[in-house]
Structure 1
Amino acid sequence: MRRILVVGSAGAGKTTLAREIARRLDLPVIHLDGHYWRPGWTPPDETEWRESVARLVARPAWVMDGNYGGSLDLRLPRADLLVFCDLPRLLCLRRVLRRRWAHRAARGTVPRPDLPAGCPERVDFEFLRYVWRYPRRSRPRLLAAVASSVPALPVVRLRTTAEVRRFVDTLPTAPPGPSVR
């Protein structure tokens, strides 16, 4: 496994899991949020975004976290494994709110490492609604995209925090030596 795609609802633990997979397998990690958003939470031009994703997936090895359904057609064919963090929506909502308050308590001085400069942690009604609706709206689209474009792609679907822990425990720890980073 040299190219692993980690997807799931906001608050499902994609970023944390991607970092741990990358650490254990000694692979570079790519947080798509950091490549997508411009200061002030401004999205990029669609053509520019797709060109950026094409460059990222062309790399020989990566652990990539993020949804961005409009670029799945570029990412899925290059992935060796899809890890789907499919945790319960209430847990995801709780984590999103906890993360927001943790960064607010730090008065914005400790930005999330996966977010670009000029994009402070935020939670609004639309974002909470997205998290709530993820199981009914986004999950079916994701699974359909996998089934239609890359049906042979191995998928690990993690539905509980215990399953996430067990999955991580199955990963080898990278031996000392040259890194692919």
Structure 2
Amino acid sequence: MKYNRIIIIGSAGSGKSYLSKKIAEITGHPLIHLDNEFWKPGWVETPRDEWIEKQKNIIASDKWIIDGNYASTLDIRFEACDVIIFLDINRFICILSAIKRHGKKRTDLPDYCKEKFDKEFFDFLKWIWTFPKRSKHKVLDLHKQYEDKPFIIIKRRREINSLIKTICSNDF
């Protein structure tokens, strides 16, 4: 395995958690879901200074897989990683995936954060819808700053499975 510090980014519902779990199973690298680290009970956000410090502690390890965006600290992870995997999946698929998983027990969210069909959930769906226009350019701009880092763009779900096969064959 030539990559020990892996970040997986993309819209909610794109398959980040699925892919990160599969890579962790194959490599044995520790898996960090940023949503588990960020959200406090009652969907309270971690204060910015604490969040930055937490990120620095996470990336201090030799091996990790980090699943999540959090654009305000994405540069910290870009600088530290060996490879970036960007799931640039169609927003219709992302919204459908978010609706399908909504309310189910998930390992990428703290147990104390319960999802409901409420205004916040519909705002979340709107966030997914606007991700390509609002956030994609931030990812691509950061990629330009770190052009020396391998940058894998996944556009279709079947490409996720192809990447998993590549990792299993030790070509990653």
Residue matched to 2:15? 13
- Report Cα offsets for 1:123-167 as digits up to 9, x if no partner: 52210111001111111111112212x121101100001111111
Distance 2:128 2:94 in 1: 7
- Report Cα offsets for 1:92-125 as digits up to 9, x if no partner: 0000001115x2xxxxxxx311111320134522
Measured after TM superposition, the shift of residue 64 of structure 1 is 0.5
Residue of structure 1 aligned with 2:47, choices 45, 48, 73: 45
Contact 1:24–1:173 (Cα < 8 Å) also in 2: no
Residue matched to 1:134? 131
Residue matched to 1:155? 151
Residue of structure 2 aligned with 1:171, choices 146, 164, 167: 167
Distance 1:70 1:122 in 2: 26
Give TM-score, length-normalised by structure 2. 0.91
Give TM-score, length-normalised by structure 1. 0.87
Give the % identical residues. Answer: 33
Give the alignment's Cα RMSD to 1 decimal: 1.4
| Distance change >3 Å, CA 23–CA 6, structure 1 → 2 | same
Residue of structure 1 aligned with 2:24, choices 22, 31, 34: 22
Contact 1:2–1:61 (Cα < 8 Å) also in 2: yes
- Report Cα offsets for 1:68-115 as digits up to 9, x if no partner: 0111121111100001111100000000001115x2xxxxxxx31111
Distance 1:85 1:121 in 2: 23
Contact 1:25–1:173 (Cα < 8 Å) also in 2: no
Deviating 4+ runs (over 6 angstroms) = none
Measured after TM superposition, the shift of residue 173 of structure 1 is 6.5
Secondary structure in 1 matching 2:41:
coil
Residue matched to 2:112? 118
Aligned length: 165
Equivalent residue letter for 2:156: T
Equivalent residue letter for 1:121: E
